[in-house]
Amino acid sequence: MSHTISMKRAKMLYEKEKKLRELQKQKIPLPPSRRQKKYETTRKRIDGRLWRMKDRIRSTGGKMPAHLEEKRDE
């Protein structure tokens, strides 16, 4: 079954696609898609309060930043 859209909506979608292609040509990061936003919100909900710390650990490769390291006297 085919789905027809109005000329107005088709033009709007075409303009949006053109704008995103221009951003890609200028090497500007694209805005997150609806699917990406949904993924992030579900991940934050599942991870709870620790999601920000988990992201920091992943981005640093598991190493503690210098200003957060504990000084041990052994």
In a domain, 57, yes or no: yes
Number of domains in the chain: 1
In a domain, 2, yes or no: no
Q: Where are the beta strands (DSSP E) in the chain?
A: none
At residue 7, the pLDDT reads 93
Percent of the chain with pLDDT over 70: 92
**pTM check: above 0.75:** no
In a domain, 68, yes or no: no
In a domain, 50, yes or no: yes
In a domain, 45, yes or no: yes
Task: Round to whole Å and give the CA distance between 24 and 28.
Answer: 6
Tell me the Cα Rg of the chain. 21
* Residue 9 pLDDT grade (very low, low, confident, very high; cuts 50, 70, 90): very high
In a domain, 73, yes or no: no
- The CA-atom distances, in angstroms, between 60 and each of 36, 37, 57, 64 are 22, 23, 5, 8
In this predicted model, what pLDDT tens digit does every residue of 21-52 receive, in sequence order?
A: 998 899 888 888 899 999 988 888 887 777 77
User: At CA 56, angle to CA 52 and CA 62, rounded to 5?
Assistant: 135
At residue 72, the pLDDT reads 61
In a domain, 11, yes or no: yes
Task: Round to whole Å and give the CA distance between 22 and 16.
Answer: 10
